[in-house]
Structure 1
Amino acid sequence: MRKHIHYGVTAAALAGVMLAASACGGTTRGDEGGSGSGSGGGPTAEADPDAEIPEGLSISYLPKQLNNPYHAVANSGGEKAVEELNGEYKEVGPSEATASSQVSYINTLSQQGSDVIVIAANDPNAVCGALNQARQAGSVVVTYDSDTKPDCRDLFINQATAEDIAKVQVEMISEQIGGEGEIAFLSATPNATNQNTWLEMMEEELAKDEYSGIEVVDTVYGNDDDQKSFNEMQALLQTHPDLAGVVSPTTVGLAAAARYLSGSDYKGEVALTGLGTPNQMREYVKNGTVEEFALWDPADLGYLAGYAGASLSAGRITGEEGQTFQAGELGEYTIAAEGEVVLGPPTVFNEDNIDDYDF
C-alpha cells in the first residue's frame, strides 16, 4: 500500500498550486512511476491472481458532483465493497459538474496517498493530466459511469454496453409515440463522455428504417442540475409545440422533466423516458406522467468499481484484456478490450415492477 501523507490543506488551496489538467499525455501503466509493486500501490507488471488484498487500502470515490442522487446510490455500493475489503472509504467531489472541477480533488487524493481513485469523469480530457500524475505517484485509477480516454486510467467500469443503453431508450420512446413524431434529448453536461456516446448511438439507431417516422429536433443540456433541467424541459415544449416525446439519459434530468410534465397540460400528451432510479421516478410512473424508463443498479456499479480497484492495487489483475477477477457477491468479471468491464444489461422499469426495487 502507499504510505499515506496528510498535508493539512484543502482541495481549494491545492488547486492554486497544482498543475492544470492537460489532455491525456502522461505515462501509462507500466511507465516509470506509473505502476508499482510491494508498497507502490499500483498494478504490477504481471498479474498474480493469488495475491492477497491487504487490509487498509485507501479507496476514494470522486463522483461527477456531490449531492447527486444517482452518485449517492452508486457510492453507497462502493462503501459497502470497501467495508467488505476492510479498507478505508472516502468520498470527495465538487458541487458542480463542470469539466475541470474534479482536478483539485484528484491532486488532493494523490497527495494524501490514496491507493485507489474511483472517478466518474465530467470530461474525458480535462482530468487526464491530474490522473496520470496520481498514477505516477502510485495510485490506481478506475473510472465508473463516465470514462476518460483509456490511457488516463487503468480500468473503466461500464454500466452496460453503450449499444444496449441506446437501443433500449430508442425502443421505449418509439413504443410510446407510436413510431412517429418529433422528439428531443435532455442530456446532462455537454462534455459528459457517457451521455455523448449514448446520444450519438441513439441517433444511429434512429437512422434505421424502422424508425423513419421519428425526427430528432433538438438536444439541450440541464448540466445535471434539477432546476436547470426543469427549465430546459419547459423551454423545449415551448420551442417545439409539436413535440411528441423527450428522452433524458440522466437521472437528474429525467426526474426534473417528469416533475415539470406532471404539473403541466402536457401530462399524458408528451411521452418522457430515459434513465432514472425507481425511487426518483415512482410517483411519476404511478400518476401516469411516465410509462417506463430504464437503468442498471448504480449501487452495483460502485460496488464493482471498488473490487476492481482493490484487485488492481493488490496486483491480482493489471487491466489486460481477458483477465478475470472476483467482485464479492456479484461474482466473476472479465476485462474486455481497452480495460472495460461491463456490469450488465439495463433493466426497464414500469408500473408492474417498480415497487420491486428500492434505490
Structure 2
Amino acid sequence: MSSHVRTRRRVTLSATAAACVLAVTLAGCSGTTKNDTKGEAKEAASNAKADPNAPLKKGLKLAFLPKQINNPYEKIVDEAGIAAAEEFGGQGKEVGPSDAKASSQVSYINTLIQQRQDAILIAANDPNAVCGPLKQAMKQDIKVVAYDSDTAKDCRQLFINQASSEEIGRSQVQHIAEQLGYKGEIAILSATQNATNQNTWIEFMKDELKDPKYKDMKLVKVAYGDDDDQKSFQETQGLLKAYPKLKGIISPTTVGIAAAARYISDSSYKGKVVINGLGTPNQMRKYVKDGTVEQFSLWDPKKLGYLGSYAAAALASGQITGAEGEKFKAGELGEYTIGKDGEIILGPPTVFDKKNIDGFDF
C-alpha cells in the first residue's frame, strides 16, 4: 500500500486539509553510470520544450500497471484513472501481475511497449527492477508516470505522490503514540521489502521515534505481509506471539491493516493492542465500529488515479515535460505545479474514526 510544490490553493481529501511539500530522493537505477547523473528522463525533459497551451490529444492510450492486479486499493486508483481518461477522449486500461514480486511487472511493461501505449502509469513493486524496460519505453516516446510507489527517479518523467512521505511516516508514529500514552513496544506490518513508498515511510517513522518524547516506546520488529491478505494475517499472529508485551501495530498498507484488524477483532488482543496505519474506509468501517481500531489514515485513492491520468495526458500532449516548475490542469482538481525530481503531491492524508467514517465511500 505508502510526497512537492504547488502554486494554487491546494486540493484536499477533506474540506480543510492542506498539502505539504517534500521531495524524496531515491537511489538511481541500476546501470546508471557516473557520467549519466541526470538520467535519461531528465535529459529528455531538458531537450524537450513544453507547450502549456497545447490541447490534450484525443485518443490517448494509457495503461495502469499496479503492484498487483487484485489489490483493492490499487483497483480504486486505476478505475478512477481509467474513468478520467474518458473525460479527455482517451482510453485507459489496467494490466498487471497477481503477485507483488519485484520482477513481476517487467513482462507487462514489455508488452505495453509493443502495444505502443502513449503512457504507462506504474505503482512500482521495486524501484530498480523495472528501470530497464521503463527506459526503453521512454526511448520510444512512451511517457512514464509512477504513482503510489515510485521507481528510481530517472526511470520515469513524473511521480504522483499521494501525500508528503514525511508527513505520512511521522504522523503514523504520532497517532499511535498518542493512543499508547507514549509507552510500550510497537511493530510495523509492511507490504513487500522492496516497496519504495513503504520503505520511505518506515524510514521517517524510525527517525520520528528518535525524538526524546518517544523514549518509552520501542520498535521491536518490521514484518512483511507482501500485500497478501493471508500472509499479513499470519504475520500479525506471529508478531503477537513473538512479542507478548506488544502494545501497537502500525500497518502502512491497506491490505495489512485490514488483515491485522481482522485477526485482532476475533482474539483476546482486542482492546489491548492498538492498530493504526493506512486503510480504506470501506475495508475498515466494521473494525472502527466494533472498537478494534480507533483511527487510521488515507488519502482519496480516486483522486490519486484521476490526477495520474491527467498528468500522463499532459505529458503525452506536450503540455509538460516533467521539469520542475511546469504547470498543468488536472480536470476538476485544478492546477498543479511539478516539484523537484518530477514529483507532484496530491495532498495530505485524512484521519478516519467513528465521527467521520460514514461520510466516505471507497
Instruction: Give the alignment's TM-score, normalised by structure 1.
Output: 0.90
| Secondary structure of the structure 2 residue equivalent to 1:244 | strand
Deviations 1:249-271 (A, max 9, x none): 00000000000000000000000
Q: Which letter does structure 1 place at the counterpart of 2:41?
A: R
Q: Which letter does structure 1 place at the counterpart of 2:30?
A: A
Please give the residue correspondences for 1:57-96 in structure 2 after superposition, counting only pairs within 5 Å: 57-96=60-99
Deviations 1:185-231 (A, max 9, x none): 00000000000000010000011012111100011000000000000
CA separation in 2, counterparts of 1:340 and 1:173? 28
Deviations 1:147-198 (A, max 9, x none): 0111000000001111110122111110111111000000000000000000
1:343 matched residue in structure 2: 346
1:251 matched residue in structure 2: 254
2:23 matched residue in structure 1: none
CA separation in 2, counterparts of 1:134 and 1:145? 20
Q: Select which of 276, 282, 305 maps to 1:279.
A: 282
Q: Select which of 151, 154, 170 maps to 1:151.
A: 154
1:50 matched residue in structure 2: 53
Q: Select which of 98, 101, 120 maps to 1:98.
A: 101
Structure 1 residues 30 and 269: alpha-carbon distance in aligned structure 2, compared to 1, 3 A threshold: closer
Q: Select which of 185, 188, 195 maps to 1:185.
A: 188
The answer to whether structure 1 residue 160 and structure 2 residue 163 are counterparts is: yes
Q: Which letter does structure 1 place at the counterpart of 2:312?
A: G
| Secondary structure of the structure 2 residue equivalent to 1:23 | coil
Please give the residue correspondences for 1:257-268 in structure 2 after superposition, counting only pairs within 5 Å: 257-268=260-271
Q: Which letter does structure 2 place at the counterpart of 1:75?
A: D
User: Percent identity among equivalent residues?
Assistant: 59
1:171 matched residue in structure 2: 174
Count of residue pairs the alignment pairs up: 329
CA separation in 1, counterparts of 2:275 and 2:91? 41
Structure 1 residues 296 and 24: alpha-carbon distance in aligned structure 2, compared to 1, 3 A threshold: farther
CA separation in 2, counterparts of 1:211 and 1:333? 37
CA separation in 2, counterparts of 1:192 and 1:334? 26
Contact 1:24 1:152 in 2 (8 A): no
CA separation in 2, counterparts of 1:329 and 1:262? 39
2:24 matched residue in structure 1: none
Q: Which letter does structure 2 place at the counterpart of 1:256?
A: A
How far does residue 24 in structure 1 lie from its aligned partner after superposition? 5.2
Deviations 1:18-51 (A, max 9, x none): xxxx8254961376xx67xxxxxxx971110011
Contact 2:83 2:92 in 1 (8 A): no
| Secondary structure of the structure 1 residue equivalent to 2:287 | helix
Q: Which letter does structure 2 place at the counterpart of 1:212?
A: K
The answer to whether structure 1 residue 292 and structure 2 residue 295 are counterparts is: yes
1:310 matched residue in structure 2: 313
Structure 1 residues 124 and 136: alpha-carbon distance in aligned structure 2, compared to 1, 3 A threshold: same
1:270 matched residue in structure 2: 273
Instruction: Give the alignment's TM-score, normalised by structure 2.
Output: 0.89
CA separation in 2, counterparts of 1:69 and 1:100? 21
* Moved >6 Å (runs of 4+): none
CA separation in 1, counterparts of 2:131 and 2:226? 21
Q: Select which of 9, 18, 23 maps to 2:30.
A: 23
The answer to whether structure 1 residue 237 and structure 2 residue 237 are counterparts is: no
CA separation in 2, counterparts of 1:30 and 1:158? 18
CA separation in 2, counterparts of 1:262 and 1:251? 16
CA separation in 1, counterparts of 2:150 and 2:315? 17
The answer to whether structure 1 residue 330 and structure 2 residue 333 are counterparts is: yes
| Secondary structure of the structure 1 residue equivalent to 2:80 | helix
Contact 1:44 1:315 in 2 (8 A): no
Deviations 1:109-136 (A, max 9, x none): 0110000100000000000001000111
| Secondary structure of the structure 2 residue equivalent to 1:29 | helix
Say which is worse superposed, 209-218 or 238-247, in terms of deviation: 209-218
Contact 1:62 1:91 in 2 (8 A): yes
Q: Which letter does structure 1 place at the counterpart of 2:56?
A: I
Deviations 1:293-327 (A, max 9, x none): 00000111111000000001111011111111100
Contact 2:42 2:154 in 1 (8 A): no
| Secondary structure of the structure 2 residue equivalent to 1:182 | strand
Structure 1 residues 53 and 24: alpha-carbon distance in aligned structure 2, compared to 1, 3 A threshold: farther
1:10 matched residue in structure 2: none
Structure 1 residues 24 and 249: alpha-carbon distance in aligned structure 2, compared to 1, 3 A threshold: farther
CA separation in 2, counterparts of 1:153 and 1:212? 40
CA separation in 2, counterparts of 1:70 and 1:320? 29
